[in-house]
Amino acid sequence: MNRPIDAALSQDRPAKRAIRQLWLREVRRHPANGNPIYLTLPGTEGKDIDLLINEGVIATTETGAIAAEDIGKVVAVESNSEAVLSLQRKYPGLRIHNNTLESLMNGGGPYAWPNKNISRDMRAKVVNIDLDKSLRAECGEEVSFPLIKIIKKISQLHRERPNAEPAEPWSLCVTVNSTIEWPEPAVRFFFRFLANNCSEHQTFKESAAATLGDNLVNRIIAEYQSLTFNHIDPDDRAKLLCIFLPKLIMCEINDHHWEAIDCSTLSYGGNEGHAAMTTITIAFRVSNAPIPSQRYASNICNIFPGLGRVLDNGTIELG
């Protein structure tokens, strides 16, 4: 079995190591009570699981199997059966769902929900969706992003716990290829969405201008109906995605009363044969803000302090 995703996930270059450290930071952010603590799409190599084992987050037995008391702490999602076998060989006892994330969640629709066990696993303290693909857009009656719909459902599962238990803080990590290959309506949606936020939220506009420059922000506001990605410098394009993606997530999960208390959006790669990637980590807690617009305004302003780039040597450069 030779899949590009496995090659991408097994990379041990400094930038990728730095990102795994961010995931570890999120795992440590939350108390380790209750399972699972980490849900991941690890590929066949499971480097992130290696890290959790090496850092003592998960214990293993003398044969390398996941220790009985830690079974269920980590949950993997992998659709390919042979990849499941590779993972199971590497980590006997690891809980693995042999399916796509989308199928497990019964799609992004609001009516069909996963069963009890899958719901439990989706309520992991850290949900890490590490993809090598770019964000896919679907253009029907309206533009939608299937991945974001899934994230929205996951956030709702976190909010609505069984037996009316109170919602607990959690973290979301998402990594996608920075390439944007969307149909025209999705491109239009992208620019309009950014333009609206810049128009409606002064703080957001100022922060965006500090990152992208006044010129580009003004262009977005003025030309959102005609602007295309071809008109924009590749570096700025990556920055735009870094702003758009968390903003879109904040927007979608706003109904579920989550407050982003910490957010990093970093770009990396894009050189020496490595694909340009965008990675986000957001730590959530239940928001006390009663008004949705207040919550949203606060959340999108939290995006900017964590914007940056992971350099090839693994250094994180913010701003």
Partner 1 sequence: MAHPGFYVRRFALPYPPTKYRSHKLMDNRLSGEILVASRIVDYLSSGLYESPAACLKELVNNAYDADAKLVELFVKPDANRIIVTDDGTGMDSQDFKRNFSKISESFKRESTDRTESSRPKIGKIGIGFIAANEICDIMQIISTKKGSREKIDIEINFKAMRMPDEERKRPGDSFTKADYEGTVSQAHPDEHYTHIFLKEVRGPAQELLAGARNRGESKSLYGLSPKTIAQRLRDPNLRSWEDFDFYSQTMLEVALNVPVPYVDHWATKKYDEVLSSFTNRANSLDFRVVFDGTELRKPTLFEESDESFVKTFQYEGKDVSFESYFYVQHGVLKPQDLNGVLIRIRNSAVGKYERSFLGFPSSIGTLFQRWLSVEIWADDRLESAMNIDRKTLRVTHPAYLELVDAFHVQLRAALNEAREKLYEQPSRKKKRIRYKQELDIIKEVSEAARTSVSSVTADQMSAEQNHRVLLKKYSAIELIEIVLDVSKRTLSAKERKLLMDELVREVLSK
| Residues engaged in binding partner 1 (CB under 8 A) | 60-68, 71-72, 81-82, 84-85, 88-89, 92-96, 98
**Pure H helices in 10-144:** 14-29, 47-54, 81-90, 101-104, 116-122
Question: What token pair was written down for 86?
Answer: 């590779």
Closer by beta carbon to partner 1, 77 or else 240: 77
Closer by beta carbon to partner 1, 88 or else 144: 88
Rounded-to-integer distance, Cα 102 and Cα 112, Å: 11
Cβ contact 54:98 at 8 Å: no
Residue found under tokens 């920075």? 178
Q: How far is the CB of 104 from partner 1 (least distance, A)?
A: 13
Sequence-distant (6+) residues with CB within 8 A of 262 are 29, 281, 282, 283, 302, 306
Give strand pairing partners of 316.
310
Q: How far is the CB of 64 from partner 1 (least distance, A)?
A: 6
Closer by beta carbon to partner 1, 65 or else 221: 65
Q: How far is the CB of 65 from partner 1 (least distance, A)?
A: 4
Closer by beta carbon to partner 1, 32 or else 67: 67
CA angle 220, 226, 229 (to 5 degrees): 70
Closer by beta carbon to partner 1, 88 or else 298: 88
Burial class for 313, CB neighbours closer than 10 Å (0-12, 13-18, 19+): exposed
Q: How far is the CB of 145 from partner 1 (least distance, A)?
A: 30
Closer by beta carbon to partner 1, 84 or else 232: 84
Residue found under tokens 């706003």? 254
Q: How far is the CB of 92 from partner 1 (least distance, A)?
A: 4
Q: How far is the CB of 39 from partner 1 (least distance, A)?
A: 14
Strands 143-144 and 258-268: unpaired
Q: What is the CA radius of gyration of the chain?
A: 19
